[in-house]
Structure 1
Amino acid sequence: MALTKEQTQHFYHKLLHMQKELSGEKKKTQSMTEEVGELSNGVDNHMADHGTLVTDRMTDQTVKEIDRELLEEVNHALQKIKDGTYGICEKTGQEIPYERLEAVPYARMTVEAQADVEDDLETDAPSFEREFHQQVKDLSNKETIDQKSSQTYEILNREQDSN
């Protein structure tokens, strides 16, 4: 069943709100030298202070990149509303269920099509990338997160034994 005008308007406003949040003014980050200068006050900095700064900077950059990519997806969804193709799977041409759009209003595909695309990416990826994705799955899977039998724990054990 195609989305009604009211449902499409609901998602349009939801996407506009997301767009506004993502493109709003971000906190201006200081340069590393300014940050280090604030820490020092004439005293040598500890390596941990520098490590914290670097970690914070990397976190900020990662969040900004994620926000930028999400903003692109939101803008794409808004364009699809204008084009009249919103809610249609880009892979299969089927309608994306309302519940999926409610959870992910910028979704381009149905859950099944998205899973197929992700499986294809993992299959085509180099072995180290497939191993990395499996490790992430192990660490985020509630069933394997505390088990020593996951692939991630096996790799860590091998690395410890070789040292």
Structure 2
Amino acid sequence: MNKKDVEQLKTKLIKLREHLLSTVEREQNFTKTSNPLKESRDEGDFGQGTLDMEIEVSSLESLQNILQLVERALRKIEKGTYGICEQCRRPINKARLEALPYATLCMECQKSS
């Protein structure tokens, strides 16, 4: 990848980070203010409320994990190690990075993981 490609991916990562940060903040605020268990009227409502809360927490954790990967990719750009597979140390295909700019593994290593 050339310097221009890396800069374009960096811009994409920064925009993704901004989007994730606002989404995580919104989800955290919703989780703090919304408690479906308070509105439970019977066992079915309670069960659904519990499931809803578990989905919210799981969604928030997934968003935070992706945010960590984005931050890691941005640090790699600064270090000059972006786009290198963490397992085999070969370059990650440009098309893969365009699709998943925070990828840490090339397709071959991802398949074997």
User: 2:10 is matched with which residue?
Assistant: 12
Tell me, in whole angstroms, the C-alpha distance in 2 between the residues paired with 1:31 and 1:71: 23
Tell me, in whole angstroms, the C-alpha distance in 2 between the residues paired with 1:23 and 1:81: 20
1:18, distance to aligned residue in structure 2 (A): 1.1
User: 1:105 and 2:98 equivalent?
Assistant: no
1:7, distance to aligned residue in structure 2 (A): 0.7
What TM-score, normalized by structure 2, do the two folds share? 0.87
Q: Root-mean-square deviation (CA), in Å?
A: 1.5
User: 1:70 is matched with which residue?
Assistant: 66
Which SS does the other structure have where 2:90 is aligned? coil
Q: Which runs of 5+ in 1 are unaligned?
A: 119-163
**Preserved contact between residue 37 and residue 50 of structure 2 (Cα < 8 Å):** no
The alpha-carbon distance between structure 1 residues 104 and 88, as it changes in their structure 2 partners (threshold 3 A), is same
Q: Which runs of 5+ in 2 are unaligned?
A: none
* Bigger shift: residues 85-94 or 21-30: 21-30
Tell me, in whole angstroms, the C-alpha distance in 1 between the residues paired with 2:37 and 2:57: 18
Instruction: Give the greater-gyration-radius structure (CA).
Output: 1
1:103, distance to aligned residue in structure 2 (A): 1.1
1:46, distance to aligned residue in structure 2 (A): 1.8
Q: How many residues align?
A: 108
1:20, distance to aligned residue in structure 2 (A): 0.8
Q: Which letter does structure 2 place at the counterpart of 1:106?
A: Y
Which residue of 86, 90, 109 corresponds with 2:86? 90
Larger RCO (alpha carbons 8 Å, 6+ apart): 2
Tell me, in whole angstroms, the C-alpha distance in 1 between the residues paired with 2:50 and 2:13: 33
Identity of aligned residues (%): 32
Deviations 1:69-90 (A, max 9, x none): 1111101100000000111111
